[in-house]
Chain A
């Protein structure tokens, strides 16, 4: 490869990184400005225009702690369902032979292409109207309870474990639950972390469904209360951009930090195999 091509590749990658990262940098800068400064100079920190007041302002309009807690409960519920029932079905699909296994795997693949836009009306009718689960954590969690992509990732990883391992343990009298818990799960820990990351970002970032199902501000995840702030309240605030960006920073930070810490588990082979089946 010629020197010119190496340099060109470097420029493309650097430009890409800049375009991807700049809005995040700008989010932080904007959230710290006393007066919103949209000029080019405003993209650089100016000590005379720095303040933490925006974080106080947004916290007065929407309870950030409550919002984070609600996002946490919503996400935690989905993680729990996926880690317990998703691991069980992933193991059953990989290492047990039972009638209906093929159909179940086909279903898990099919679920990935089920269009959510078609489901919002019937789900709203069923969950909010018929089951009376609006303004309720259960109603919020229900449609996301078991992440099908995670199920496929679990199956994929369990399949890589040698069959003989399980046959031997079965002869030694281990029950299937013991096999799963003592042998299979510890061996696929990287897959579990990948699945946790992937499952986490779904409900934490989700807007439409919790927005439809929660009208009570005390139960809204942060993404919903921040969106309501943007669409209703921002116009009447002193520094709407500063406060909005401060809220955006608080919403983005947990996922970004988690992602940076565990980025090595967020690699193409794990997730690519999950999405492609």
Chain B
């Protein structure tokens, strides 16, 4: 700041803050968020309400407003409705399993004395590995005469896991639970550090056993993390694409494991109806928001 233009400097400070350089430092990020996230988000909603198709580059085409037409097309399509039911099945299996297993393993890991590093690494490894790579192993494991069925023997389902209308979606839900669990264990481990030790001590003075103190100290103590785990696992489930695309050969059998994002890809990019695909996306996001709101309402802080 110079002394000669003190008045101007004060005004500048009032408008831009004490360090206007901060804005300059943040400009690339702000441009990035605007161009790659905010604008496309608005554009998606715009596409969903207009007659939109892929035109030759440079061609000027008319894209009239069509109201809810795309939504009607999407929601009267049996394949779309089935994909939403499928993701419902997925969430009913995946979300509770994720919450229970990750909290259980995080609690056990938090108290473990031996092999902590080894256990941590082995729990996180599926999470850091590419879905495409581990899908390959699961294809081998859950194949008709794969290892899982060899072990199960006569108990193996027929038709096998990935080609059974009944089992395809549950198998995908189990796969994703296994794949993502490490991340949720990590979140719960962080939350467990924040539960005061004194609470456990006073619980045990009051005669509570391990099970009792788990339910009356640990579970309420990590509630904010549980809200986050519910939200993230629901969003992950809604984003499902790679697993039905590869594990069940494109959402088979008979669309029993098709996810809404897979249908968006098929309708939007393979069949040239990006407007219908965008409408499916809008419906999906609205549903996720409703689920997230309900989860927050029933599991979130009550005070």
A272 in contact with B19 (CB, 8 Å): no
A12 to B145, CA, bound (A): 29
A269 to B110, CA, bound (A): 13
Of residues 39 through 70 on chain B, the ones whose CB sits less than 8 Å from some CB of chain A are: 39-41, 43-44, 47, 54, 57
Q: How many whole Å from A264's CB to the nearest CB in chain B? A: 8
Q: A20-B182, A97-B19 are in contact. Are A231 and B190 (CB under 8 A)?
A: no
Assess whether A201 is interfacial by the CB under 8 Å rule.
yes
Q: A92-B22, A96-B21, A124-B269 are in contact. Are A272 and B150 (CB under 8 A)?
A: no
A42 in contact with B269 (CB, 8 Å): no
Complex: chain A residue closest to B194, CB-CB: A272
Interface size of A in residues (CB-CB distance below 8 Å): 97
Assess whether B139 is interfacial by the CB under 8 Å rule.
yes
Type the 1/0 row for B228-257, where 1 means its CB is closer than 8 Å to any CB of A. 100110010011011001100110000000
Assess whether A196 is interfacial by the CB under 8 Å rule.
no
Which of A98, A151, A256, A267 has the most chain B CB atoms inside 10 A of its CB? Answer: A98
Q: A42-B147, A176-B19 are in contact. Are A119 and B41 (CB under 8 A)?
A: yes
| B22 touches which of A12, A20, A96, A273 (Cβ 8 Å) | A96
Contacts of B231 in A (CB 8 A): 113
Q: A42-B147, A89-B29, A227-B246 are in contact. Are A251 and B187 (CB under 8 A)?
A: no
Contacts of A126 in B (CB 8 A): 39-40, 43
Contacts of B146 in A (CB 8 A): 38
Contacts of B290 in A (CB 8 A): none
Q: How many whole Å from A62's CB to the nearest CB in chain B? A: 12
Assess whether A91 is interfacial by the CB under 8 Å rule.
yes
B125 in contact with A24 (CB, 8 Å): yes
The secondary structure that dominates the B interface is helix
Q: A20-B178, A271-B186, A272-B191 are in contact. Are A207 and B269 (CB under 8 A)?
A: no
| A115 touches which of B122, B242, B249, B285 (Cβ 8 Å) | B285
A230 in contact with B18 (CB, 8 Å): no
B187 in contact with A275 (CB, 8 Å): yes
Contacts of B139 in A (CB 8 A): 230, 241, 244
Contacts of B136 in A (CB 8 A): 27, 226, 230, 244-245, 247-248
A20 in contact with B190 (CB, 8 Å): no
Q: How many whole Å from A102's CB to the nearest CB in chain B? A: 11
Interface size of B in residues (CB-CB distance below 8 Å): 100
| A43 touches which of B147, B224, B264 (Cβ 8 Å) | B147
| A12 touches which of B105, B128, B264, B265 (Cβ 8 Å) | B105
Q: A85-B29, A272-B187 are in contact. Are A16 and B228 (CB under 8 A)?
A: no
Type the 1/0 row for B110-134, where 1 means its CB is closer than 8 Å to any CB of A. 0110010111111111101111111
Which of B29, B43, B121 has the most chain A CB atoms inside 10 A of its CB? Answer: B29
Complex: chain A residue closest to B148, CB-CB: A38
A264 to B47, CA, bound (A): 46
Complex: chain B residue closest to A241, CB-CB: B140
B108 in contact with A13 (CB, 8 Å): yes
Of residues 21 through 76 on chain A, the ones whose CB sits less than 8 Å from some CB of chain B are: 21, 23-24, 26-27, 30, 36, 38-40, 42-43
- Can you name 16 extra interface pairs (CB under 8 A) apart from A36-B140, A201-B128, A226-B132? A20-B123, A24-B129, A92-B21, A96-B17, A96-B21, A96-B22, A96-B25, A107-B30, A113-B231, A115-B285, A176-B21, A226-B136, A252-B130, A259-B121, A260-B121, A276-B190
Chain B residues near A (Cβ < 8 Å)? 15-23, 25-26, 28-30, 32-33, 36-37, 39-41, 43-44, 47, 54, 57, 104-105, 108-109, 111-112, 115, 117-126, 128-141, 143, 145-147, 150-151, 178, 181-182, 186-187, 189-191, 193, 210, 224, 228, 231-232, 235, 238-239, 241-242, 245-246, 249-250, 260-261, 264-265, 268-269, 274, 277-278, 281-282, 284-285, 288
A-B residue pairs in contact (CB < 8 Å), sample of 9: A26-B137, A26-B141, A38-B146, A98-B21, A117-B239, A117-B241, A124-B274, A205-B128, A231-B249
**8 tightest A-B CB contacts, nearest first:** A272-B190, A98-B22, A96-B22, A98-B17, A268-B190, A205-B130, A96-B19, A122-B40
Chain A residues near B (Cβ < 8 Å)? 1-2, 5, 9, 12-13, 16-17, 19-21, 23-24, 26-27, 30, 36, 38-40, 42-43, 81, 85-86, 88-89, 91-93, 96-101, 104, 107-108, 111, 113-126, 129, 132, 142-143, 145-146, 148, 151, 176, 201, 204-205, 207-208, 212, 223, 226-227, 230-231, 241, 244-245, 247-249, 251-252, 255-256, 259-260, 263-264, 266-269, 271-273, 275-276
